[in-house]
Amino acid sequence: MHVNAPAPTAEDIRAVVVPLTSLEGPLLPMLHAVQHAWGHVPQAAVAVLADVLNLTRAEVHGVISFYHDFREAPAGRHVLKICRAEACQSMGGEALAAAALDRLGIGWHDTTANGAVTVEPVYCLGMCACAPAAMLDDRVVARLDGARMGRLLDEAGA
């Protein structure tokens, strides 16, 4: 979704989540569906989900805020997740991440001024035997070094 796209209406959100009502434990699949459609879980979704699932808005908010994946505002055009876990640390992942953040002039969870990239920490991508690793959107890249990280950032338009 483009960052300047209009916010979805309650009807738009309802159309996305109602088909999932018959699942057992439908709230997480619904939240993933909303985030997939709009890149984040807009505030308007809380009331809709509460109504559809007969929950309080506080309960829905509690679930959204518990999980790292769900964002309340849109991210940059690309999301770069850099692994901070032990296996990547053992192969210099920490210095690699620090250099990437330094080049972009941002901190963890921040988005570059041009809106191109949001950088987030991730704790393990299962690339522990070919560390260090990162994930640009849904694409995992491993055996990273400064040069490969630089190419990833270029590709993302950072």
Question: Which residues are near other proteins by CB under 8 A?
Answer: 23-29, 31-32, 53, 62-63, 66-70, 81, 85-91, 122-131, 133, 135, 138, 140-143
When the beta carbons of 21 and 114 are compared against other proteins, the nearer one is 21
When the beta carbons of 6 and 24 are compared against other proteins, the nearer one is 24
Alpha carbon 118 to its chain centroid, in Å, reads: 9
**Minimal distance in Å, beta carbon 113 to other proteins?**
26
Amino acid residing at 39: G
Q: What are phi and psi of 139, to 5 degrees?
A: -105, 125
Distance of CA 152 to CAs 36, 54, 103, 128, 149, Å? 23, 44, 12, 19, 5
**Minimal distance in Å, beta carbon 157 to other proteins?**
21
Distance separating alpha carbons of residues 51 and 42, to the nearest angstrom: 15
When the beta carbons of 29 and 105 are compared against other proteins, the nearer one is 29
**Minimal distance in Å, beta carbon 154 to other proteins?**
17
User: What number of other Cβ atoms are within 10 A of residue 152's Cβ?
Assistant: 21
Distance separating alpha carbons of residues 55 and 103, to the nearest angstrom: 44
When the beta carbons of 83 and 104 are compared against other proteins, the nearer one is 83
